[in-house]
Structure 1
């Protein structure tokens, strides 16, 4: 019989209520939400059913004093993530830390040092690493069917959103680079499969309130020559595909509906001879008139996740497409890996070192972009 872990959720706002709590609730045999903490009294009221048996606290310190809380999952504001995680580690708790795991690279190094002092206690909530489409793409890349990979694209266009909460303010470390950025940069680094040696980026503020970025473009080149294109935008009314991978024998695309992978590649039996450029007059034809290429085209259903997909706390039925206006979707799969790591000592798939690298690349992207908030934006009001 599995040992049930007792969890305290720190931060009872949108993430704590509609992401952490319902995801944990999918594993009643593994987890019990034993406590919740938030400094704001109204956030400790009108909580969803997952908190029915939870003790509620007005501060992190009060919850850390609860001896029954074994695991603290941190869902507070961005700048508080690292200090809250370190305090929980120092109190002897296991910690699941939401993104961004740190808001600066030096802060990420502090987190790494704390993790080293308390090995096996810190787990990064890079839940997008466990998405079915992403992992199916990685599997196809590994087969070699696409040949030598030269280009990967990771896009998210969560709809045209004129957002106005605190995540639109730079003084709170808001913006899409802090919000969606850690997820997609982590995925891009996994698909890049090599250290980043060069990076270009552009951040823009277009339709949201505040002064933080709502459109992100990052191009990264790996030491292996592969290029990763990352784009996040809440200004796109026509979303692009989620993933694209190009190799020297074929390409794949994952459309935004996230149900299939479109694959077009050379027949595995197709042999490609050496080519030599013709410097003189060439037949009036395009390409190579002496070569007949045979392609295979497939629409491959994306393998379902081992866990479940949720949208604002509701479990989606198998094959159901998330409502475009329904908000954030998430995978609960991550929590089964956390439980196995704590109770069985199995390695957690996301390392702290990988999280630190995501922060480093994010900070480099912000610096390379030269982003300056619009003069017309709020620029700090309300902070």
Structure 2
């Protein structure tokens, strides 16, 4: 292994093209060596020097490839990850890690058997607003948290013909955005005592879930996670209420929009959110609102962490155990919604 890692990216749809490829190329010590895609012209138009192959297993067998990134449809994550690990490659899987908890255990067992690293891409740990929330809670500026609200709402009233919106394993909003919101909460508070979920199809013609409202029960607070495709006018991202005040943030982290616009990660303005949140606290018997100092987001931190874990033996940025915890919550949430009841983690 050299001081630079060759990366094979499996999948060049929206996630592979907009997120993974630019972040890999912008991370020192990583080189986008191969892309697995049936549309070589699409890849070459963006990255003419990158090798393109149609067969993922050909990329796995390439002795020059050190790290495989899987950004293919959700139901292919587990078999592709296991195949890459058996060829001796380190593996990053886009969220959700797998479709089932059983598959997650199988992937981790394959990594252990191959003595290779596996991780799931939880880039939203490095959202600017989440980093700000994390700091405010850690510093005690809000006191003891009583309510934590996390929204990821969009207005997409027309159902699209794409795998993410079909009634198939790993489809729907719970598997798309649920892993992000669950991971952020667990990073802040650890695992909850219980979960109650309402997962539904609300749009006309919806084939898969396009709405969820989930409550995580903790001993002294509640965390409420919400996502919908039929919200045109709210824009709330975080509302954190504690014994010493509240933090309110509207608007999503800017990095996705910056990547969509073709901005190179790390260039001036990268990860800087102009819509700073507000801290509301009582002073001298009245409520006062201050602009919260916003942290800078940077999704490259995930790939820098993977690079260092492979080359220097450090911890992966998202551990296999953390991947298992989120998959367990995903399954329990789906079960809670189906059975219409709270489910304890036990």
Match of residue 278 from structure 2: 262
Whether the 8 Å contact between 2:92 and 2:120 is mirrored in structure 1 is: yes
Matches of 1:207 and 1:16, distance apart in 2 = 27
The answer to whether structure 1 residue 341 and structure 2 residue 340 are counterparts is no
Alignment equivalent of 1:219, drawn from 193, 206, 215: 215
Cα pair 1:108 1:359 within 8 Å, conserved: yes
Contact kept? 1:265, 1:296, Cα under 8 Å: yes
Q: How far, CA to CA, are the matches of 2:205 and 2:293 in structure 1?
A: 39
Residue 103 (structure 1) aligns with: 99
Q: CA deviation at 1:371?
A: 8.4
Structure 1 position 332, deviation (Å): 3.2
Change (3 A) 1:17 1:197: same
What are the residue-to-residue correspondences of 1:84-95 with 2, within 5 Å?
A: 84-95=80-91
Q: Are residues 1:167 and 2:159 paired? A: no
- TM-score (norm. length: structure 1): 0.77
Write the deviation string for residues 113-166 of structure 1: whole angstroms up to 9, x where unpaired: 223334551121011111121011111101112111111111101323423211
Matched residue of 1:343: which SS? helix
User: Aligned-pair distance for 1:256?
Assistant: 1.4
CA-CA distance at 1:6 after TM superposition: 0.7
- Name the SS for the 1:217 alignment partner: strand
1:289-336 C-alpha deviation (Å, 9 max, x unpaired): xxx63555311241223x3xxxxxxxxxxxxxxxxxxxxxxx333212
* Contact kept in structure 2, 1:78 and 1:102, CA below 8 Å: yes
1:152-191 pair list within 5 angstroms: 152-164=148-160, 165-191=162-188
Q: How many residues align?
A: 317
Cα distance change, pair 141–104 in 1 and its aligned pair in 2 (3 A): same
Question: Structure 1 residues 82 and 95, CA, compared in 2 at 3 Å: closer, same or farther?
Answer: same
Moved more, 292-301 or 235-244: 292-301
Query: How many angstroms apart in 1 are the aligned matches of 2:59 and 2:205?
Result: 34
Distance, in Å, in 2 between the alignment partners of 1:187 and 1:105 is 19
| Other-structure match for 2:344 | none
Ranges of 4+ aligned residues in structure 1 off by more than 4 Å: none
Separation (CA, whole Å) in 1 of partners of 2:221 and 2:322: 19
Tell me whether 1:132 sits opposite 2:128 in the alignment.
yes
Structure 1: give runs of 5+ residues left out of the alignment.
268-291, 308-330, 373-383
Q: Map 1:350-361 onto structure 2 (within 5 A).
A: 350-361=318-329
Q: Report if aligned partners of 1:163, 1:209 keep a CA contact under 8 Å in 2.
A: yes
SS in 2 for 1:171: coil
Match of 2:263 in 1: none
From 242, 245, 251, the equivalent of 1:247 is 242
Q: Give TM-score scaled by structure 2 length.
A: 0.85
What SS class does the counterpart of residue 197 from structure 2 fall into?
A: strand
CA distance in 1, matches of 2:115, 2:296: 32
Alignment-derived partner of residue 16 in structure 1: 16
Larger-gyration structure (1/2): 1
CA RMSD of aligned residues (A): 2.2
Secondary structure of residue in 1 paired with 2:193: strand
Does the CA contact (< 8 Å) of 2:194 and 2:216 recur in 1? yes
1:17–1:209 Cα change, 3 Å: farther
Partner of 1:33: 32
Partner in structure 1 of residue 270 of structure 2 = none
Contact (CA 8 Å) 1:206, 1:214: kept in 2 or not? yes
Aligned partners of 2:277 and 2:294 also within 8 Å: yes
CA distance in 2, matches of 1:171, 1:302: 39
Alpha-carbon distance in 1 for matches of 2:306, 2:234:
33
1:32-75 CA distance string (max 9 Å, x none): 1111113xx3x233225553222222212111121111111001
In structure 2, relative to structure 1, the CA distance for the partners of 1:371 and 1:13 (3 Å cut) is farther
User: Would you say the 8 A contact 2:85–2:116 is kept in 1?
Assistant: no
C-alpha distance 353-294 of structure 1, shift in aligned 2 (>3 A):
same
